[in-house]
Amino acid sequence: MKILLTGSGGQLGSELQATVPHDITLVAPPEAEFDITDATAIDAAIRQHKPDVIMNAAAYTAVDKAETDAEIAYLVNEKSVHQLASAAQQYSCRFIHISTDFVFDGLQNKAYAPDDACAPLGVYGASKHAGELAVQAILPPSQSLIVRTAWVYSTHGNNFVKTMLRLMREKDQLGVVADQIGTPTYARNLARVLWRLIHQQTSGTLHFTDEGVASWYDFAVAIQDEAVALGLLNKAIPIKPVATSDYPTPARRPNFSLLDKTTLRAAVGGAGQHWRHALKDMLENLKGLV
């Protein structure tokens, strides 16, 4: 099976390349040569490589910047997704697309199921939701797979774990938001699940995160504990729980964004890794890189 990957330089794109199964041919052009806003480039890449599957790991992911950069957010997260899905239709490829917990408003108090109503709070979430709708409007459900995920981190790129490690080295104490609840997700685990779903030709809309529940505060405390134990940090600093209202950001975020993984667990035959164990794996891998 041949897969054409967009967003090869991102967290997920990098982990997909690091975990590619032996029976898959992965074509992952550098982003500079494969801009998904360029319909001609998409067309040329598909004609050249003749993939069975197009996997879209590219996205505009700057949540706060999107509030003032809506045009680019929609260009990448909606219009380009529309173009990719149209190309998948034209060349009879399957299309795998990644979306986000930010399509929900976070007002629910039980995990969001894939068919729960979407009500994004900010531009990023709204643009990603528009991208989902574009996929669903263009391709029959059997030809596409949308996987929503949340709180993604990896050894590549910028993310909460790497920001916390930097701040924990620079500062004497830290306040971290304790009233937003979700599940941290190691991009490597997401990549592995996507390879399984591709093999099984799973379609529709599914949710995947690592297992368990945390606030950003819980996540920060765990990052520090594990990083000190691994020698990535040489001291622990006090970490205080703070309220979202004490840490204003341009974009509103869902307070509660647990994703219900029942359908995905059934598709892959069980639960995945607990976020705490995944965090330890990521930090061990990070240690191997420094």
Question: Looking at the annotation, which residues are catalytic?
Answer: 124
Residue 229 neighbours by CB under 8 Å, 6+ apart: none
Residue 112 neighbours by CB under 8 Å, 6+ apart: 101, 104, 207, 257, 258, 259, 260
69 versus 281: smaller Cβ distance to ligand NAP: 69
Among 53, 61, 84, 283, binds ligand NAP (CB under 6 A): 61
Among 42, 58, 232, 278, binds ligand NAP (CB under 6 A): 58
Q: What is the pairing mode between strands 2-6 and 53-56? A: parallel
91 versus 160: smaller Cβ distance to ligand NAP: 160
Under the binding rule (CB under 6 A), the answer on residue 69 touching ligand NAP is: no
Number of residues that bind ligand NAP (CB under 6 A): 25
**Residue whose entry in the numeric block shows the structure tokens 């574009």:** 134
Helix (H, G, I), strand (E, B) or coil at 177: strand
DSSP result, 225-264 = HHHHHHTSSSS---EEEE-GGGS--SS---SB--B--HHH
Q: For residue 101, give both structure tokens.
A: 């917990």
Least distance from ligand NAP to the Cβ atom of residue 238, Å: 26
Instruction: With contacts defined by CB under 6 A, name the span among 3-11, 107-115, 221-229, 271-279 that binds ligand NAP.
Output: 3-11
125 versus 168: smaller Cβ distance to ligand NAP: 125
Least distance from ligand NAP to the Cβ atom of residue 184, Å: 9
Among 26, 54, 152, 279, binds ligand NAP (CB under 6 A): 152
Confirm if 96 and 149 have CB atoms less than 8 A apart. no
Q: Is 207 left (phi over 0), alpha (psi -120 to 50) or beta?
A: beta
Under the binding rule (CB under 6 A), the answer on residue 157 touching ligand NAP is: yes
Containing 68, the helix (H) or strand (E) segment is none
162 versus 276: smaller Cβ distance to ligand NAP: 162
Q: How far is CA 86 from the centre of its chain?
A: 23
Instruction: With contacts defined by CB under 6 A, name the span among 84-92, 147-155, 212-220, 259-267 that binds ligand NAP.
Output: 147-155
234 versus 283: smaller Cβ distance to ligand NAP: 283
Under the binding rule (CB under 6 A), the answer on residue 12 touching ligand NAP is: yes
DSSP result, 120-144 = -SSHHHHHHHHHHHHHHHHS-GGGE
Under the binding rule (CB under 6 A), the answer on residue 121 touching ligand NAP is: no
Site of interaction with ligand NAP (CB under 6 A): 6-7, 9-12, 31, 35-37, 57-61, 76, 98, 100-101, 128, 149-152, 157
